[in-house]
Amino acid sequence: MSRPTPYSVLRPLVALVVCLAALAVVQRVQDNDSSAATPGLTATFSGKAFAPGRDSQAPVMKVRGLSRGQATSGTVTVRNPGPGTRYFWLSPGRVSERLGAGGGRLSTAISLTLMDMTDIASPSVVYRGPLRFVGARPLGFLAPGERRSFSFLAERPGGGPPVARSADPYRGAAANIGWTWHSLAGRPDAPAPTGTPPEPKPARPERDRTAPSLTFSVPRRQQLLQRRALDLTVRCGEGCTARPRATMTSGGRTWTLATRQPQPGLQRSHAVSVRFSAGQAAALRSAMVGGRATKVRLAVEAYDRSGNRRRDDHLITLRPRR
């Protein structure tokens, strides 16, 4: 009986090594395909407070020029393009600042309210408090094609003794706050991925369903023809935003008047200025000379922090001075 040659003994071992290497290559290709099939989220934003960051996942919130009691806001909509369900969370990014005239840091003075506004009839609070305590906020799962909308409100609290603007340490201060949306592939029946904060879901607050009240104040004597403007004040029963529109009726004709929009943000008092064009001022002057009254109707829509809406009209009668 002949003895096996060394080559005949090594040949099965060589074939086994080749098969194992091929399997490793196939497994690596499959792993790469699996990770490529779970892309991240997309984020779009709206509102005066937001501006694009370095990429679409990191919009920057710009907070500047806030006096006490004023606020700025914006909305971010997050979408999962698919194909798989993803677990996602939000965390604050880099904060860059410009100090105020008195050395004040605006990021330490503002209060942040983050709300899930996906269901506008039943919004929920994700976080409310100082910016420095936001941390990472788990937000649950997003199915393929699903969207979630979040409202960001940065407010400088009011109250306290009055301070002159020149003595305000935050005068001229500004803060740019970055935000990042993270996600991992997962399903609701799977355990939460490691590394995310194990915080309980915040309790849903009772929703405010009362619309703000509106009152109007118009100075009796104004230089309408010289300034071609009518000034008045709109007051809300709570902090609100106001959207005014005005029309003028004289001699059986109606004009739409231009209005200077109030300052943005939630405020109790809004200064409104109704402007007359050259032709409108001429019609008003003709009515005044002829002793006829002119009607100006101001329609105002007001929204409070919870989105409750109040619409009210105020009729102003302009008569020549006697």
Q: What is the pLDDT of residue 191?
A: 56
Q: What is the pLDDT of residue 21?
A: 42
Q: Do domains 42-158+166-185 and 214-318 have the same CATH topology?
A: no
- Radius of gyration, CA atoms only, the chain: 31
Structure tokens at 181: 């949306």
Determine if the pTM surpasses 0.85: no
User: Any idea which fold 42-158+166-185 has?
Assistant: Jelly Rolls (2.60.120)
The position carrying tokens 């915040």 is 202
Backbone angles phi, psi at 40, to 5 degrees: -80, -160
Along the 322 residues of the chain, how does pLDDT read in single tens digits?
445 545 455 555 545 444 444 333 333 323 332 222 235 788 888 887 787 666 544 678 888 878 888 888 888 899 998 888 888 888 888 888 888 877 888 888 888 999 999 988 888 999 998 888 888 899 989 899 899 999 998 898 876 666 676 777 888 888 888 888 888 887 776 555 556 666 666 666 677 788 888 899 898 888 888 889 989 899 998 888 888 899 999 878 898 988 887 777 788 888 888 999 988 888 888 888 888 889 999 888 888 888 888 899 989 888 877 6
Exposed e or buried b per residue across 156-177, where buried means at least 16 C-beta atoms within 10 angstroms of its C-beta: beeeeeeeeeeebebbebbbbb
N residues, the chain: 322
The domain limits of the chain are 42-158+166-185, 214-318
Class of domain 214-318: mainly beta
Structure tokens at 109: 């003075």
Structure tokens at 127: 């976080």
Per-residue CA distances from 77 to 135, 260, 270 (Å): 20, 30, 30
Nearest to 318 by CA among 287, 276, 274: 287
Those residues whose C-beta lies under 8 Å from the C-beta of residue 215, and which sit 6 or more positions away, are 234, 235
Q: What is the pLDDT of residue 198?
A: 63
Nearest to 239 by CA among 212, 208, 260: 212
